[in-house]
Amino acid sequence: MKEVVLDTETTGISIKEGHRIVEIGCIELDNLVPTQKKFHSYLNPERKVSQKALEVHGYTDEFLSGQKFFKDVVDEFLNFIEGKKLIIHNAQFDLGHLNHELALIGKKKINNEIIDTLLLARDKFPGSSISLDALCKRYRIDNSKRAQHTALIDCNLLAKVYINLIDQKEPTLNFQKHEEKNFKQNLKEIFYSKKIIVPSLDEITKRKDFIKRNLKKNFF
């Protein structure tokens, strides 16, 4: 089963304030294994990047002004995700911006099956931090390259988080079970390594004589 891990970066949070997408990143998984196929594009948002967004991803207005427009890459993007389940962290945000961009150029909304890893993490770890960084820390995934958010780096991290969320159980320490296992193993080693010595007939006779003499001496 093929899936696509997807992430976007934007000029800001609110669509109502006119914020646009500046980067789209996608990587393909086939039965949870990355296929090395990816889609990636920087985009000219046709507006200025907010200061808060600039601090998050570092993409300046000057850099983005020389990039392609969404309409120039939309067909390639839609072909890449066609018929595949989308894995997104906080899907409401990314899908909201993507569907807004599609609406601006007269395209239909994305109707792929969606798995929101934010909701998966919230269900699995209620009350805990479920940001991508927090989940990387929980699963001991190296996110040292994530000094700033970029779509492809986030996709690669999210793919690892997603695989852990659906496939890896939390480690447990059952000392009683561990001790029982060791005890049984030790017994097995003792029983199978024990040497059985069969006494000779002469030794048996001498032993009986010894017992008779000592019983008479002690009790009569």
Q: 185 pLDDT exceeds 70?
A: no
The pLDDT score that the predictor gives to residue 145 is 80
Q: What is the pLDDT of residues 22-79, one digit of tens each?
A: 999 999 999 999 999 999 999 999 999 999 999 999 999 999 999 999 999 999 999 9
Q: What is the pLDDT of residues 138-170, one digit of tens each?
A: 999 999 888 777 999 999 999 999 999 997 444
* Cα separation, 13 vs 181, whole angstroms: 54
Q: Which residues are catalytic?
A: 149
Domain ranges of the chain: 2-167, 177-219
The pLDDT score that the predictor gives to residue 214 is 59
Sign of the torsion formed by the C-alpha atoms of 42, 48, 54 and 59: positive
The pLDDT score that the predictor gives to residue 215 is 54
Fold for domain 2-167?
Nucleotidyltransferase; domain 5 (3.30.420)
| pTM > 0.85: yes or no | no
The pLDDT score that the predictor gives to residue 190 is 39
